[in-house]
Amino acid sequence: MTTGMREKTALIYSSDFSRFSYGEEHPFKVQRFRLAYELMKEYGLTSIPHTKVFDCEPAEENDLLTFHAHNYLAKLKEFSSSDEPRADFRYGLGDMENPVFRGLYDWACLGTGGTLKAAHLVTEEGYDVAFNIAGGWHHAHKSRASGFSYLNDCVIAINKLLQKGKRVVYLDLDAHHCDGVQEAFYDTDQVLTMSIHESGMYFFPGTGFEKETGAGRGKGFTVNIPLVEHADDALFMKAFDEVIFPLVAAYDPDVMVTQLGADTFRTDPLTRLEITTHSYSYIVRKLKALKIPWVAVGGGGYESINVARAWTLAWAIMNGVELPHRLPESFVSTIRELGFKNKMLLDAMHWAHEDDRNRALDAVEKSIATIKKKVFPIIIGRYDKDPG
C-alpha cells in the first residue's frame, strides 16, 4: 500500500447500520455496510493519520421536516413501532419494494444522521472529505417512500447546507436516477443537480432524461445523462469528462455532495450497465482533484462485494492511498465462506460487445449534445471565470 498527500478526512460508520433487515428475499442487504468497513480495516484505511472514524446520532425530526411532510413522518413512526405487518400505499409503505419492519424509522434516521454529520464536519470542523457509507437514499419523496428509500438524507443534508448560505453541487453516480433529489431542487440555482444513470426508458424510476434541465430560477441547473444498457467504462468516463467535470469546475460550489452507488457495475443483478472499478475509481480521482469540500454518501449496489470494493477504493482515493490490485487473503477467506468468489479489488477496463457499445455510444453522444446546447450556455456563461 502506498500513500500520497493526505487531507483531513472523516468516515461515518456505525455497527447499527447493519442491525436491521429488509427481509431475506429483498435485494437490499444491510451486510454490505459491514463488509465495506471490514475491507477498509483490512487495508488499514481506518487508522491512517489525518483520518477519523465517527459514529453518528439519528437525525432529529426538525431536520427531517425541511423536506418530508409531517403526516408521512408520523406514519413512518407508527409503522416502525409495530411487529405486525403494516402497509399504506399512499405513502409507499409496506410493499415488496419498501417493506415495513420494527425500528424502521430509527434506522432511517441513523443513516440520515450520518449524512448530516458528514456535512457538519466538512463545513464546521475543517474536514476536507467526509464519507457516510449508509447514506444515499435518493428516491425518497416528500410524502412517499420509494426505491428502498424512506428518508432522503441527501436532500435533508443539502437543505442544511443551504441554510448556511452554501452553493452546492450534487452528483449522483448510482445506476438509478436521483428522482427525489431532483424533485427537491428542480427550481433553484443554489444546487446544481447532476446524475449519470441507466436510462429511465425501461428502468426504475422512469425519470432523468436529458431534457429535464430545471424550471424557473433552476433552469439549466439540473443535468441528466441517461445511459442505455451495455454502456461501459469508456462511455461512463466520456459522460463525466465532457459534461460533469467542466460544469462542476465552472459552477465552483462551496460544497460538493456525491452519491457513490455501486450498482452500475456489470455484475450487479438489478442493472444492465457494464461499468467496473476502473471508471468508477477514475471518476472519484477526478472529483478529488477538484479540491472542493466534499460530502460523500453510499447508495445502491446489490452485489455486496462490489459495494465493499467500490467504497473501499473511494475511501482510499479520498485519502491519497494506492491499494494493491488483489483483495487481502484474510478477506478473501471470509467472503468465500459467504459464497463470494472475488479475489481482485481492481478490475481491468471493460469494453462492451461492439454492437451493444455502438448503440450506447450513439445514445450518450446525443445526450451530451443536448446538454451542451441547453445547459452549458447557462452554467458556463454565468460562472466560468476563465472562458479562454
List active site positions: 139
Rounded CA separation 271/248 (Å): 27
Give the pairing type, strands 9-12 and 191-198.
unpaired
202 phi and psi angles, rounded to 5 deg: -135, 30
3-class SS of residue 366? helix
3-class SS of residue 198? strand
Question: Going by C-beta distance under 8 Å and a sequence separation of 6 or more, which residues neighbour residue 158?
Answer: 168, 170, 181, 184, 185, 191, 257
Rounded CA separation 150/106 (Å): 11
**CB burial of residue 101 (10 Å; 0-12, 13-18, 19+):** middle
Rounded CA separation 133/153 (Å): 12
Location of C-alpha cell 436491521: 20
Q: At what angle do helices 104-124 and 153-163 cross, to 10 degrees?
A: 40
Beta bridge partners of 193: 170, 222
Rounded CA separation 202/311 (Å): 28
Give the pairing type, strands 321-322 and 2-3.
antiparallel
Give the pairing type, strands 191-198 and 51-54.
unpaired
